[in-house]
Amino acid sequence: MSISKCTIVDLPKIADPRGNLTFIEGGNHIPFPIQRVYYLYDVPGGADRGGHAHKKLQQLIIAVSGSFDVVLDDGHERKKVHLNRSYKGLYVSEMIWRELENFSSAAVCLVLASRPYEEDDYYRNYAEFISALGST
């Protein structure tokens, strides 16, 4: 899969003096039904997350609080996306290597995922990911 498919999704934002509201419907604002939600928080300064690719899993990654960078790699190209808005999500397709870094203090990274947790779905070794790309 090409990183050109990994784009920013502008989510609905209901602005209100009492506080803003954003909502996400699986299959509507994102191209998959949501089967799992997880979030990263209390990330210590300088720590990196990710460092893997998924065979089938699609995700939407949102900085619901604070900011961080997502480095995407499809085996041909790399790009770094800075996320710092609660109403913008980064769609990450299957077969994309991702690294999450440069977390601000109190950052919360919300992830909507198309499948349940399956360790078999991971490539945790970059060389293995690259060789799998060559064989598809």
Q: Applying CB under 6 A, which residues contact ligand TYD? A: 36, 38, 40, 49-50, 52, 117
Alpha-carbon distance of 122 to 103, in angstroms, equals: 23
CB of 17 to ligand TYD, least distance (A): 35
Tokens of 48: 């990196």
Q: What CA–CA distances, in Å, run from 3 to 22, 50, 89, 129?
A: 26, 16, 15, 15
Determine which helix (DSSP H) or strand (DSSP E) holds 63, and give its type and residue range.
strand 59-65
Active site residues: 52
CB of 61 to ligand TYD, least distance (A): 10
Q: Of the two residues 15 and 127, which places its CB atom closer to ligand TYD in the complex?
A: 127
Alpha-carbon distance of 117 to 106, in angstroms, equals: 25
For tokens 């990183």, the residue is 3
Q: Of the two residues 30 and 61, which places its CB atom closer to ligand TYD in the complex?
A: 61
Q: Of the two residues 12 and 38, which places its CB atom closer to ligand TYD in the complex?
A: 38
CB of 38 to ligand TYD, least distance (A): 5
Q: Answer yes or no: are the C-beta atoms of 20 and 96 closer than 8 Å.
A: no
